[in-house]
Amino acid sequence: MKPIEACRVFALCLCTLGAAVAHAHGGADHAGHAAPPARQEKTQVRFADVSLLDQHGMPVRLEQDLVGDKLVVMGFIYTSCTTVCPVVSSIMGKVQQQLGGRVGEEVQLVSLSVDPQRDDPQRLLDYSRTFQHGAGWSWLTGTPYAVTETLKGLGSWSPDLGNHPPLILVGDGRSGHWTRFYGFTDPALLVGEIDRLSARRVHAKHTAIAQEQLP
């Protein structure tokens, strides 16, 4: 199959999966929202010093408790969304499956609700069961202030839920290298970015050892 045809088939599969999940959940659509073409860009992020809640109702600070020095895949969703968000969550679910045991050890997955008014921990926990299979994936909400400050620092804040873009961040909490992936991104590309960041760590470690051994 040609690369262009493969991409079309993948996009069709994602849209079909998203429609099926959307039917199961119901709720508010991204009003008139069509996902933009998949693209990526290097970026910088800032972690707000605020407390959030995970899907079990436990308080967490994103940078200190989850990101740390791990490799991170982070999506932005809200549970009443019936179009874009289920597809984004499905993509992350496929990333979790492809990374296997690395999730929860080397890699941390995070989904942050952009609708804290409605998405309490229990609602996120119920929603997560459709997509999450295994440890290492935190679903976050919090007060409107805490969520807004967090989203602004991550460059993902929008005043209108219906126009919130499909976005997944992939980065290295240790080095501070981050990439934004817009649109419905092939999970293999996200896993490839994780592998690239992991390889950079190995290279940096070997370089440091070699320099220490120089006379």
Q: Give φ, ψ of 44 to 5 degrees.
A: -120, 150
- Each residue's pLDDT tens digit, 156-191: 998 887 777 899 999 999 999 999 999 999 999 999
CB 185 within 8 A of CB 172: no
Q: Is 7 annotated as a binding residue?
A: no
Q: Is 85 annotated as a binding residue?
A: yes
pLDDT of residue 132: 97
Whole-angstrom distance, CA of residue 186 vs CA of residue 190: 7
| Fold category of 39-213 in CATH | Glutaredoxin (3.40.30)
pLDDT of residue 88: 97
Give the mean pLDDT of 77-91.
95
pLDDT of residue 195: 98
pLDDT of residue 161: 79
Residue ranges of domains in the chain: 39-213
pTM above 0.85, yes or no: no
Q: In 3D, which of 157, 194, 180 has the Cα closest to residue 36?
A: 180
Per-residue confidence band for 35, with pLDDT thresholds at 50, 70 and 90: low
Where does residue 202 fall: left (phi above 0), alpha (psi -120 to 50 degrees), or beta otherwise? alpha
